[in-house]
A and B are shown apart, each in its own frame.
Chain A
């Protein structure tokens, strides 16, 4: 029974890899291996970045007798990466999955359901953690300081760390689920909680980067601090350097924590999974809103979907918030940065509009609201199919939602950047034109990708929002476009003036937008109707 449930959970977690939900069949042969290769490449690239970081720290710290500190730092980063990466979907996937009721109604021991869910959380956390820890272990192997026992324990430690991440994720996710199950309208609070997590992550991430530079320079001081504050990581670090006793103590500590978490969860799982599923309480007299046009109604539907889902807002629209914050920051601190560039790198001054535009476009591409929007129709897609509206009207509403939430902050950030760097009027207008064109392009591209790779059979919307291939391609594709334009500018700036380059970039992006939109009108609508 447990094996069956675990298989089902693994199938659900990784269904996006081998299941083509548009065709309703499993991917075969080349398509399957193509997917695998692409993900190996994407995570390989991330891993390479962490390897560079690890390689810079490992040998110097090991040479000074502080190899354990290297592993402790990398373990801490991996844990943060794993917890933050998986905590957002733990509350939904563990406690509020759509098939909880179905499984609880079957003759299955609740603890089996819980264990199967935990395996899903473990895999999710391990997925993120290994992106950091594998490069760290490889850096250790090639550093010349690896010992036989060090190799053994450094291979075992990532697995133990995955268990630690699972335990921590469950504790945090448990609180989130408990709070959510007791709230009537939880979207706003959930969003705030998510933002707090994310803010904390950014804070620690920034501090970690700064600390890494200092650690190599002063390992004694930081080693002392690490040992006193995060003792388990000190033990793990020593273990990974080849000392068995500290590693065994670390493993025992993690296992005890996991056991404690499991005991708490197994006693409260049914309560949380079934809270607030009873009778609907009357909410006073509901009033119909003012009459809207058909397109207005479709847009309101998309807006309601977006604002009701913290997972959707956090993963697809957080860029809007960041752009506003960066705009404020630019107005207050941008002047200092300009002065620093003028003094430190005067040759960059004439390229400031292009550099600022690169940042602006990069910020704009972090919003991927259209990318999961088709998948989010889920099992309710029959409504859109049965209504007297065209598929294009439905799809346009999705594009409009992206534009409404992305264009204003992009323009605000653009205005702030322009106010700081003070380019001439033509350059300023063209900067905004490139940024707006980028937003238009990412909006239609995200939608087109989701039409090509929809997933309507999710049991948790987190799967549609976070684990969709279209979402990942939209994010990396958006960045790819910005990087490509930046390279193009780098090579073309000797021959073209910035204004001419901005004109060409705008034209190129608008042409791309028109082509993709044309595809959506012709093929995309047919695909939507066939879903």
Chain B
């Protein structure tokens, strides 16, 4: 579903991501872990076609994002860590706008809007301008808008930040359901317990370099994911010392 090959991205002289390669199959939930500034958001933005990159290739369902960005974007949905939505639209207008752009028919959109907004508890405020929404409500609306066109790949940057426990629980259930239906999910997180419980595979990035990836068992062995992560971070500290 998603293949990243030798992705390299520089900001001036600074190497943000260095020859990163990943492969995510249909039905997989793939966690992406790393410290702040490790290159997670850069990678995510690159694979969503938001950010250009210097070297490498990214394929969504076999299509190059460099050569056919629009075709790729039709297959994916992106939820940023801080979803700044259009404040002048109401929640319903925003969802309708996304549905229009992705060509969701009128028959399908109402059912999906009802289902997702009801699940996240924002159905009653869909008529209010987004400018009046809290961060959590905007996050929920962003998730609803991502699912409304039934993407094959969902890419999320810290999706659980700002969500209340109930919404987090619902999102996890929706993620699992999405993968059961043959979709794939790639998301970054700092919450290692969530990654450990939810993900089929995980990748750890440090200073732009992929230091470990694979199935959860391959990555953590008998240890906890937190122990593995801290051990890798510790190597960094020891090297610095």
**Residue ranges of A at the interface with B (Cβ–Cβ < 8 Å):** 276, 280-294, 296-298, 300-301, 304-305, 308-309, 378-380, 382-383, 385-390, 529-530
Contacts and interface: CB of A to CB of B under 8 A. Distances in A.
Interface of B: 48-50, 52, 70-74, 78, 80, 84-93, 95-106, 109-110, 113, 124-128, 132-134, 137
20 contacts: A280-B133, A280-B137, A286-B127, A288-B95, A288-B96, A288-B99, A291-B105, A296-B100, A298-B101, A301-B89, A380-B84, A380-B86, A383-B86, A385-B49, A386-B49, A387-B73, A387-B102, A388-B70, A388-B73, A530-B52
Contacts of B102: 387-388
A386 B91 contact: no
Contacts of A298: 101
A378 B97 CA distance: 18
B222 to A, nearest CB: 39
A383 B146 CA distance: 11
A297 B101 contact: yes
Given A280-B132, A280-B137, A380-B86, A288 B109 contact: yes
CB-based closest 8 A-B pairs = A283-B127, A297-B100, A308-B88, A286-B127, A286-B92, A388-B73, A282-B124, A286-B126
Contact of B100 (A287, A292, A305): A292
Nearest to B92: A286
A290 B106 CA distance: 7
Contacts of A304: 86, 88-89, 93
A291 B99 contact: yes
A307 to B, nearest CB: 8
Contacts of A300: 97, 100
Nearest to A529: B52
Given A288-B106, A288-B109, A385-B50, A305 B70 contact: no
B73 A386 contact: yes
A284 B50 contact: no
A280 B128 contact: yes
A326 to B, nearest CB: 30
Contacts of A378: 84
A415 B13 CA distance: 59
Determine which residue in B52, B71, B101, B102 has the highest number of CB atoms from chain A within 10 A of its CB, and name it: B101
B92 A288 contact: yes
Nearest to A526: B52
A69 B73 CA distance: 67
Contacts of A380: 84-87
A296 to B, nearest CB: 7
Contacts of A379: 84
B23 to A, nearest CB: 22
A123 B133 CA distance: 33
A254 B93 CA distance: 48
A293 B84 CA distance: 24
Given A288-B109, A301-B97, A390-B70, A280 B125 contact: yes
Which one of A288, A291, A308, A530 has the highest number of Cβ atoms from chain B below 10 Å of its Cβ? A288
A286 B90 contact: yes
B128 A294 contact: no
Contact of A309 (B88, B92, B134): B88
A304 B86 CA distance: 10
A309 B89 CA distance: 11
Contacts of A385: 49-50
A385 B45 CA distance: 10
Contacts of A282: 124-125, 127-128
Contacts of B101: 294, 297-298, 387-389
A64 to B, nearest CB: 56
Contact of A386 (B48, B97, B105, B110): B48
Nearest to B74: A388
Given A386-B50, A388-B102, A301 B127 contact: no
Given A380-B85, A530-B52, A287 B128 contact: no
A301 B124 CA distance: 22
Given A286-B91, A298-B101, A380-B84, 7 more contacts: A280-B125, A282-B125, A294-B100, A378-B84, A388-B72, A388-B101, A530-B52
Contacts of A296: 100
A291 B106 contact: yes
A233 B87 CA distance: 44
Contacts of A290: 106
B186 to A, nearest CB: 14
A530 B50 CA distance: 8
Contacts of A287: 92
B113 A288 contact: yes
A305 B50 contact: no
B128 A283 contact: yes
Nearest to B72: A388
Contacts of B85: 380, 383
Contact of B127 (A284, A291, A305, A309): A284
A343 B87 CA distance: 57
A280 to B, nearest CB: 5
B127 A293 contact: no
Contact of A297 (B97, B105, B124): B97
Contacts of B104: 291
A389 B96 CA distance: 16
A5 to B, nearest CB: 24
A506 B44 CA distance: 48
Contacts of B126: 283, 286
A403 B142 CA distance: 32
Given A280-B125, A385-B50, A386-B73, A289 B96 contact: yes
A281 B99 CA distance: 25
Contacts of A386: 48-50, 73, 78
